[in-house]
Structure formats: C-alpha cells, structure tokens
Structure 1
Amino acid sequence: MRFNELVTGVRSDIAVKIFGEDLDYLALKAAEIAAQARTVEGAADVIVEKTVGLPQMRVTYNREKLAYYGVSIESLNQYLSMAFGGQISGTVFERERSFDLVVRFLEDFRQDIDNIRQMYVNLPDGNQVRLSELAQIEYSSGPAKISRDDTRRRVVVSVNVRNRDLQSVVRDIQQKVQENVVLQSGYSIDYGGQYQNLKNATTRLMIIVPIALVLIFLLLNFAFNSLKETIIIFSAIPLSIVGGVLLLWIRGMPFSISAGVGFIALFGVAVLNGIVLIEHFKELRHKNGGVKMHDIIVQGSVDRLRPVVLTAASAAMGFLPMAISTSAGAEVQRPLATVVIGGLATSTFLTMIVLPLLYGYFMSDERCKKKSRSRKKVTPKVKFWFVPILMVVSAAAFSQTRELSLEDAIAVGIANNRQLKTHELQIGRSKALLPTAFNIGKTNVYYGTDANNIAENNHPLYVVGASQQMDFPTVYAARHKANRAEVSVSQAVYELELQRLRKNITQAYYHVVYLQNKQQHYDYIAGIYRKFSQSAAAQYKQGEIAYLEKLNATAKQQQIEVQQKQAASDLQIAYRQLNLLLQPDENISVPFQQLEPVLLSENIRTNAGLKLSDEQLRYENALLGVEKNLWLPNINVEVFNGTNRFANAKSYWGWQVGVSIPLFFGEQKARVASQKYSVMMADYSRQQYQIRYNSTNEQLRNELEKYRQNIDYYQTSGKQISDELIKFATSGYEVGEIDFFRYIQSLENAVQLRMDYLDNLAKYNETAIALNYLMME
C-alpha cells in the first residue's frame, strides 16, 4: 500500500479521480461515484477522500465600528495572536542559557469561542471594549484539504478489489459511472492507483514477451547452428502455452502481470526439455551412424523420458506451494505458479510426442542429403538476419516518445488545447443565436361579448378574434445585423487565441532547442574540465603543481558540473511548459537541432487584435442601429368575427391594422445615448490598440537589431576566437607554455563567448517570434 502511494499518489487498488474547481461539487460527485462503485461485485473498502467539513473559528471585523473607535485590523490581529498563540515579550537568562519569555492567556481562557468574544482590547483613548463589539466571531466550515494533480483540483474515490480481477472491476465501475453520473462542463474523471500500474505493466509486457521469444530463438540458433533444430525445439513453447492457459481457466483466474511473468519463465523450462531430447538424438546418431532414424527416435525417447519428466516434475513441485498459497502476496504468486505448472504438464507430455515426430521428419537422412548444401549457405545468414530484427524490436520497445517538429507541435496544440476549443464553441453558440433576431412575439387570441354592437336580430354579438403586435420590419434587420456582428466578434476572438497559441508554442519550442544547445555546450566544456582535473591530479601526485592548483582544477570541474545539472533541470521545466500548451496524449520530445535565427515573416498577416477591435466597433454600431430602430412605431394587426345564438343570427367579419407610436422618448433616448458612448469607447479602444501596436512593433525591431549585431559578431569572428582559445590554451598548458591561471582564464573567456552567443540568439528568436505574432494583451 505504501509503495502504491509513492508511485501513484493513492494507496488503494483503484483510484477514481474527479477533477474540477468547485470542492462542494467535487465532493457531491465523488459520493455519487462511491455509491455506484459499491454496487460493483468485487469492489470493497470504497472510501471518499474527505475534502469538506473542517471546523473553523472565523473572525469578521466590522470596519465601520473599527473606524468609529479608531482601531486598526493589524492591532486586533496582534491581540488575537498574542492571547491564544503567544508572543515573545522578553528573554530569561539562566546562567549561560537564555529562554524566550512568551506571554499568552491562561489555559482556562483559551478553551472556547466565548473566550475570544469576551477578550478586551485597548482603544486609542485609553478605554477598553470587548472584541465581540468590533467583530462577528462564529464557527464555520471550511475545506479539510485541497489536493491537486497537474495543478488541477481533484477528489479521489478509493476502491480495493476482493475476489475478482482488477481489470474487470474497473471496467464495471467505468460503465456505471458513464451511465449514471453526469458532470458539468470543465469537470473530468480519471482512473489511477494500482490500475495505472497494471496498464503500464501490460503495455510493457506486450513488448517484453516478443523480445524474450526472439532472444530464445537467437540463442538456440547460435547453440545448434541449425535453423531446423532451432524451430523443432522452439515448438515446445506453443505447446506449453496451451497448458498454462488451460489451468488458468480451470482455476478461474484472469490473465495478470504475474501470469505473464510466469509464461516467460515457462518458455525457458519448456525449451530446456527440448534441448535435452534433441541433444540425445544427435548423440545417438553420431555413435550409431548406420541405425535407422526410427530406432534412434524410439531409443532416445525412452532414454530421456525419465530425465525430462523429473525435470518438469521438480520444477512443478517447486511452484506448488505458491500455487496453493493463501498468505500475504498470494494474489501475485498463484497466477505465476499456475501458469508454470499447467504449462509444464502439457509441454512435457506433448514434447515427448511432437518433438520426436518433427525430428524424425525434418532430420531424416534423405532430406539431410538433399538440403545439406543449401543449409550450409542459409544457416550463417540466418544468424545475421536476426541481429537487425532484434535491434528493431528492442528499439520499438524503448522508443515510446514521439519526436515533434515545430509544425507538428503547433498542429498537436491546435488539436488538443482546451482553451482554444472553448472559443471555437463560442462561435457555434453565437451562430445558434442568429434566429433570435426575428422574434415576432406571442399572438393574442380572445373571446368576449360586445353589447355596443347590436346585430340585425337586435341581440349583442359574441366576438372571437386574434391580434398580433410586431416591431417595425427594420428592427428585425438591425437585430440580425447585430447578431451577425456578434458572430464576427467570436470568430475574431478565436483567431486571436489561435495566434496567441501559435506564438506561445513557437516560443516554448525554441526555448527547448535553446536549452538543448546550452546543455550540449556544457557537456563539451565539462569533458574538457574533467580531463583537466584528472591531469592536475596526476601532476600533483608527481609533484609538478601545488595543492592549490589541484583544488582550483577540482573546483572548476565541480562548478561546471553544477551548471550542467542546472541546464538539465531547466530543460525539464521547459518540456513541462511545452506539454502544458500542447496537452498531448503521449510523451513528446523535441529532436536536437542547432539553434538558428528565426526568420521574420515577409507576409504581413492581418493582425488578430486589430481585427478584433474592428469587429467590436462594428458590433457596437450594430447595437446602436437596433436602439435607433426601436424609435419606430410597432405594427398591430387584428382579425375578428362576431355572431350570436339567436334566431336570424349572422356572422360578421372584421379586421383592423394600426400602429403603436411612442409618445414619450425619454427612456429610448437615454438608451441611444448610452449606446453612442459604447461606440465611442470601442473606437477609442481601437485607436489605442493601433498606437500600442505601432509603438511595440518599432521597439521590438530596435531590440532585434541589437541582438543581430551580437549574433553577427560571433558568427564572423567570435566563434573562431572561442575555438582557438580552447585549442591553443589546452595545447599550451599541456606543454607548459602557460600556467594554470592563464589556462582557466582562456577557457572561461571561450565559454563566455559561446554562452553570450546562445543567450543573444535566444533573445533574438524570442523577439522575432513576438514580431511574427505581434499582439497586445
């Protein structure tokens, strides 16, 4: 359990992690997930991480009363700290020892919240007042703890597994959570604990098992120098797999990591039985050259029956205690031993039948004479064919990291970055609101009696009708224009965020390349100092230099090694920043490349910030158009029909069209004036952005020119000077032309030249990237 906690952060077999911001919501969803997990067979010890409910005493100051009495919050905090925590007021000396004199309340007056309420504090006028007069003091509930993974808050539901395999329990929990637990946007679920180790180990095992089989095949081929004999012996492996799988099924055990390790051990033992049998066949053929192959196989099988059976039985009996174990660790031991015992049982039985038949068929005298020449030519080549195959398999096993170019990194970031996806969804939301511009309103349907209008039969009419009020048609056009402008604003915001993401990824990528070059240079310099330190140590032993020079050489070596480690740490931090931007689904790396100046973009792209300012101004103007159109009258349309139920009744149709003219313009006039201010604000914001854009552009270009001069100096003469300093200083020190201190000074000058070049080149690239993606925050 403790090991699991160190590796995965939790002690349990399964850790369901809920990520989000609101701790109360996380605790609620964690309780729902725990309830679902308890219904899964095999899930035990379901525990929800406690994150809320920590009791606290909260003191909330009444600032009006503090101002009335002239008391500061700092002095009240000092009173509380001294009364309950204690404060040093002096020093007590006892002979040669000294002790701090701490003053605080007696323990009887530090037991309850009422002690805080009843505490008196001094006022500036010399009077005293209770703290409860100046502040509200009460109990409250706060977060018990806040846990994070990758800077995100999370709550863990811990689950242990009993009498069932881990994989199936996790699968059932995932299914129930997916069906019954609904999360808000911005919240996610991840599964960890021992299950995370299981996934990693399963992936690694899928690579290791093929490698083990290839190695066994290669070693057999090298030992027997015969591809036929190698294949015959290697056939014992699939025969052993049958028994391992069969016994696992009989005992009701799932395939686990320990079972996979058992198969690897089983392969070796199964091959060993085949080696014993085939070697004896070869020995009999060598001694009895004229004996038929059938007689050799029968005699060899009888001779090696007991050794093969005893070898397999001794190995199986050795694993038997593990197979029936019920003590601690039995869940790991039982699958391993079961696989080995079952595989040995079938492989031993089938080996004594299948291997002799295969040997008799492939190694008969007639076939050997026909294929002897071709075998001699093919066999040596087979050895060399498998060497590159093994290298490829090994490389595939350990190359789990994807190398990314800058274009690939930008593509991965655009595909995975959640913040960018949020702005993309905002565009869809704005487009979905486009039809709201044509909101005509509700239709009024009415029924009533009209005694003012008498029908021809001298009875009042019963009237049924429908009326509809709608805005002036230009209002709908103006609203539609405003909604389309809002969509354009959302698209401009998305383009701005896309440009910002490209810029940040490019800067992070080039920062990694810069640190790689810096680390490479430190490695090169560290090698020089290492040789120099070793030479100084040898010269000191021979009495050629003083001890001080040896110490200086050692100190310089250790100093450059510290800088080398710091560069490696900076590189890891840079990778984390790049991963935060890309949010990839796999491990990534940046291939090493020489740091080169970033080219300024010749194509002047439309600045996303300026475009956003233009779209915001257009949107505010569209809203102003809506407000102005609301001055226009509304249109009323009504259709009605009147009749009654008396004799000679007739049906009377009627209609009317009218307009609603606003007589009081005060409110709408104020709205128009307010929107005009919004238009002016948007216009000024755009102008201010343009001014800042031009100023920043000019400033960045001046900085770029400054860094370019330093880069040109190094490329024209600085690099040659640095290389020659190292070359001639090293050779001069070795032959005794210069002393220790001049050698160190020359090396430091050479290192400084290279470091200054890398630093200036990194700043140049950062400035060039800022120009290519120029935007104002």
Structure 2
Amino acid sequence: MRGTAFDLPKTELNGTFGQINTRAQDKNLSVSQTISPFQIGARRKVLMENVKAGELRLSQTRQEVTYSIRQSWNTMLYYMELNKVLEEQNKLMQQFVRSAELKFQTGETGSLENTTAKAKQQELQQQIKRNNALIEAEKLRLKALLQLDGDVIVSGTEQYTASVFATLQDSTALRQNSTLLLAEQQVNVAKAERRAEGSLLMPDLTAGYFIQSLTGNQDFNGVSTYYDNTLRFQGFSVGISVPLFWGASSARVKAAKTNIEVQQANAAYTRTQLVSSFEQEKKQLETFRSMLEYYTGTALPNANTISGNATKAYQNGDISYVEYVQGLETALAIRINYIDAINNYNQAVINLQYLLNL
C-alpha cells in the first residue's frame, strides 16, 4: 500500500464546441490536474506507520505460535514422563497381583487382598491409557502448528527435565514484547492519522492547459488577419481550492486527537499488565525452582526408599497388603508431584520467554 501515497485525482479532459466566442463554430480543448501537496506526505506517513504495525503483527503472530509450540511440546513430554512413572508402578502392581493370587489360592488370605490388587492395577492402566490419548492430542496439535506432513516422533532419548533459564532482575527486557511494541506503534499510527485529517484543511492546487479556435478576423499590431476554426490559440490556468466549510473536517481532527489518547492509554495499560505478569511469573519460577530442589534432594530419595522397603517387607510378610499399597501410593504421589513441579517450572519459563519475546 506504500505506493498509494502519491494518489492524484483523475486528470480532467474537457472539450467545448459551438458558438463559444461569436456566431461562428469554434472549439476549446483543455486538460487540468488537481494535486493536494499537503495530503501526499501525510498519507505516506500513515502508510509507513501501518507498515511498521503490520510487521509487528507478524512478529506478534510468530511469538504466539512459538509460545503454543513450546507449550504443546512441554505438555506432551509431561504426559510421557507421567506414563514412565505409572509403568514402573504398574510393574510393582503386577507383582502384587501375582502374590495376592498365590496367597488366595493357598488360602493364606481372603479374596479382598486379591480384588484390591487387581483394582489398583486396572486403575493404573486406565491412567496410562488416558495419558496416551492426551499425548496423541498434543502430537496432532504440534503437527498442525508446524504444518508437518508426517507424524510427530519423539526421540527415545528425550528426557523431561527442567528448562535452563536465567531469571532477569527487572522488566526492562519487556520492551521487546511484540504486543507492547504493537500497542506503542498504534499511538504512532493514530498521530499520523491525525496529521492526515489535518491536511484535509489545507488548500488544493489545480493547473491546466487549453487550446482553442477563434474563427474570424483578429487585429494584431495593426494587421487584420482572418483565422478559421483550427485549434491555435492556447494558454494555461491555475487555481486553488480552500475549505470554506470545514466543520466536518474539524470534527474528524478532534476524533483523531481522541483516538491518540485512547491508544496511549491502551499502550500504558498493556505495559502495566505485562510488567505485572512478568513479576508474577518470576515469583512463580523461584517457587517452583525451590520445590525442584526439595524433590531432587530429599523427596525422591525418600520415595525410592519407601517403595523398596515396602516391597521387601510385604514379600517377607512383615506388613499387610494395606500398608504395602499405602507405601507404594505414597512413593508414587511423590514422583508424580516431582513431575508436576517440573511441568509448572517449565510452564513458568515458557510464559517468561513469551513475555520477553525470547
């Protein structure tokens, strides 16, 4: 659209024929062009500011797509990691089922322990199926986002770990956020539109050329000469158009001024919202980082100890199946909470990357 800045009105061609000057038949041909010199620069400024706004919209879309891809990828790995833990738990439950069946067949225990073991294992299998469905959903989402022809295949060596991210101390880097840049650019667009509306109050210029016939005798330097109706007499015209009735244009200028104030308020609001979101996400990140340190340093080793000791104790007959199941579920809950902590931490990182346009 930048090429439309120099947009002149249509060139006017006129022809007049008949008894123009005398009873003789004459003709007059003219061409004229109107130009609005003050509007050309103002229109070009509006177009250039809109070009910048369009580029920022492209950057904003790219930022949002990147955010969606990161979110979907993290969610997919999260459910895959959950299934790894559930599969390990399922193996323990399979051993529990075999042991419970053997005890039931030998009459050592009643049917309650056997039924409980099978119910717990079936519950795990349903959770795994549910997570597999969610994994496939995220793969389809990634396929659409990346516009892939084939399926999304995750490497078997892919590990679900906390993302490496250095927390920034202040929000100055938010200046690179496309949403904020676009909101600020809309102020520039509004100012350019205000100038464009104001240029409508400036005069327009018109220039023209004409050629005509004057049939009859013409005296020039005391000599009388007869001219037929051939086009031979020519000249030019100039004109200026001024807005005498400027009420409507003045109202549009006032509306454009109001729009500047609206866009400035919107930019300030966007900046405030982004700063607030940045501070919240930064605090969330520190909280989840502390939780990860707790789980890796204390909780996970305890979970492994609980699971291992409970299995040995149950196999040796030192504890009942109720205590065994409680031990396994406690260890499982710790491991799942650890994976949730990684997920929450990574989500905070993804949100900060989006806010900082990284």
Q: Same fold (TM over 0.5)?
A: yes
In 2: Cα distance, 1:449 partner to 1:583 partner: 67
Aligned partner (choices 484, 490, 511) of residue 54 of structure 2: 490
- Whether 1:652 aligns to 2:233 is yes
Structure 1 counterpart of 2:222 = none
Equivalent position to 1:719, from 297, 300, 305: 300
Give the deviation of 1:693 after TM superposition. 0.8
Query: CA 1:775–1:522 in structure 2 vs 1: closer, same or farther (change >3 Å)?
Result: same
Structure of higher CA gyration radius: 1
Structure 1 residues not aligned, in runs of 5+: 1-432
Q: Deviations over 1:639-663 (max 9, x none)?
A: 1123234462283322122211111
User: Of 110, 115, 135, which residue of structure 2 is paired with 1:571?
Assistant: 135
The AA in structure 2 aligned to 1:663 is L
Aligned pairs for 1:349-360 within 5 A: none
1:437 maps onto 2:1 in alignment: no
Distance in structure 2 (CA, Å) of the matches to 1:556 and 1:451: 109
Post-superposition offset of 1:543: 3.0
Q: Which residue is equivalent to 2:203?
A: 633
Query: Separation in 2 of the partners of 1:595 and 1:708?
Result: 15
The equivalent of 1:521 in structure 2 is: 85
Q: Kindly provide the amino acid, as one letter, of the partner of residue 164 in structure 2.
A: L
Q: Which residue of 2 aligns with 1:622?
A: 192
Task: Give the 3-state SS of the residue equivalent to 2:97 in structure 1.
Answer: helix
How high is the sequence identity, in percent, across the aligned residues?
25
Instruction: Please show how residues 589-600 of structure 1 align to structure 2 within 5 Å.
Output: 589-592=153-156, 593-600=158-165
Once the two structures are superposed, what CA deviation does each residue of 1:472-503 show, in whole Å capped at 9, x if it has no partner? Answer: x2310111111111111111111101100000
* 1:540 corresponds to 2:108: no
Residue 680 (str. 1) matches residue 265 (str. 2): no
Q: Matched residues in 1 for 2:63 and 2:245: separation? A: 49
Distance 1:535 1:461 in 2: 120
Distance 2:51 2:354 in 1: 23
Q: What is residue 699 of structure 1 aligned with on the other side?
A: 280
Q: Give the distance between the partners of 2:150 and 2:179, measured in 1 at CA.
A: 33
Deviation at 1:775, TM superposition (A): 8.4
Distance 1:518 1:525 in 2: 11
Give yes or no for contact 1:693–1:775 (8 Å, CA) kept in 2: no
1:678 maps to a residue whose letter is N
Cα deviations by residue, 1:455-475 (Å, 9 ceiling, x for unpaired)? xxx97863222111111x231
For residues 598-637 of structure 1, what are the alpha-carbon distances to aligned partners after superposition, in whole Å with 9 as ceiling and x for unaligned? 2336794710101111222111111111111111100011
Residues 439, 601 of structure 1: alpha-carbon distance in 2 compared, 3 angstrom cutoff:
farther
User: What residue is the counterpart of 1:756 in the other structure?
Assistant: 337
1:666 maps to what in 2?
Answer: 247
Kept after mapping to 2: 8 A contact 1:609/1:775: no
**In 1, Cα distance between equivalents of 2:204 and 2:16:** 25
CA distance in 1 between partners of 2:335 and 2:236 (Å): 92
The one of 502, 510, 525 aligned to 2:66:
502
> Once the 2 structures are TM-superposed, how far is the Cα of residue 709 of structure 1 from its aligned partner?
2.2
Q: CA deviation at 1:520?
A: 0.9
Partner Cα distance (1:601, 1:709) in 2: 14
TM-score (norm 1): 0.42
CA contact (8 A) 2:167 2:282 kept: no
> Aligned partners of 1:515 and 1:452: how far apart in 2?
91
AA partner of residue 227 (structure 2): A
Which AA in structure 1 matches 2:199?
A: N
Q: Secondary structure at the match of 2:336?
A: helix
1:543-568, Cα deviation, whole Å (9 max, x unpaired): 33333222222222222222222222
Q: 1:518, 1:758 within 8 Å by CA — same for their partners in 2?
A: yes
- Superposed CA offset, 1:501-520 (max 9, x none): 00001110111111111111
Instruction: Rate the CA distance shift 1:569–1:465 in 2: closer, same or farther, 3 A.
Output: closer
CA distance, structure 2, for counterparts of residue 465 and residue 542 of structure 1: 117
Paired letter, 2:97: S
CA contact (8 A) 1:526 1:557 kept: yes
Structure 1 residues 464 and 687: alpha-carbon distance in aligned structure 2, compared to 1, 3 A threshold: same
Q: 1:559 to 1:642 in 2, by over 3 A?
A: closer
Q: Separation in 2 of the partners of 1:465 and 1:450?
A: 15
Q: Does the CA-based 8 Å contact 1:466-1:638 persist in structure 2?
A: yes
Aligned pair count? 340
Q: Choose the corresponding residue for 1:465, options 22, 30, 51.
A: 30
Q: How far apart, CA to CA, are the structure 2 residues paired with 1:570 and 1:611?
A: 36
Letter in 2 for 1:732: A
Match of 1:587 among 141, 151, 166: 151
Q: Equivalent residues in 2 for 1:190-339 (5 A)?
A: none
Tell me how far apart the structure 1 counterparts of residues 25 and 235 of structure 2 sit (CA, whole Å): 16
Q: 1:714: how far off?
A: 0.6
Q: Secondary structure at the match of 1:464?
A: strand
* Structure 2 unaligned regions, length at least 5: 218-225
| Cα separation, 2, equivalents of 1:676 and 1:775 | 31
Secondary structure at the counterpart of residue 655 of structure 1: strand
Q: Distance in 2 between matches of 1:445 and 1:734?
A: 105
CA separation of 1:539/1:449 partners in 2, compared to 1, >3 Å: closer, same or farther? closer
Retained in 2: the 8 A contact 1:499–1:608?
Answer: yes
Instruction: Name the SS of the counterpart of 2:331 in structure 1.
Output: helix
Cα distance in 1 for partners of 2:309, 2:280 equals 42
* 8 Å Cα contact 1:507/1:766 also seen in 2: yes
Superimposed CA distance per residue, residues 345-387 of structure 1 (whole angstroms, 9 cap, x where no aligned partner): xxxxxxxxxxxxxxxxxxxxxxxxxxxxxxxxxxxxxxxxxxx
In 1, Cα distance between the equivalents of 2:323 and 2:234? 115
Q: Deviations over 1:276-315 (max 9, x none)?
A: xxxxxxxxxxxxxxxxxxxxxxxxxxxxxxxxxxxxxxxx
Superposed counterparts of 1:342-421, under 5 Å: none
How far apart are the structure 2 equivalents of 1:564 and 1:773? 31
Query: What do you get for the CA RMSD once the two structures are aligned?
Result: 2.3
Counterpart AA for 1:567 = N
| C-alpha distance after superposition, 1:71-119 (max 9, x if no partner) | xxxxxxxxxxxxxxxxxxxxxxxxxxxxxxxxxxxxxxxxxxxxxxxxx
Instruction: Assess if the C-alpha contact under 8 Å between 2:21 and 2:214 holds in 1.
Output: no
CA shift in 2, pair 1:449/1:574, >3 Å: closer
Offset of 1:591 from its aligned partner?
Answer: 2.1
Secondary structure of residue in 2 paired with 1:641: strand
The TM-score with structure 2 as length reference comes to 0.88
5 Å-filtered alignment, 1:77-226, equals none
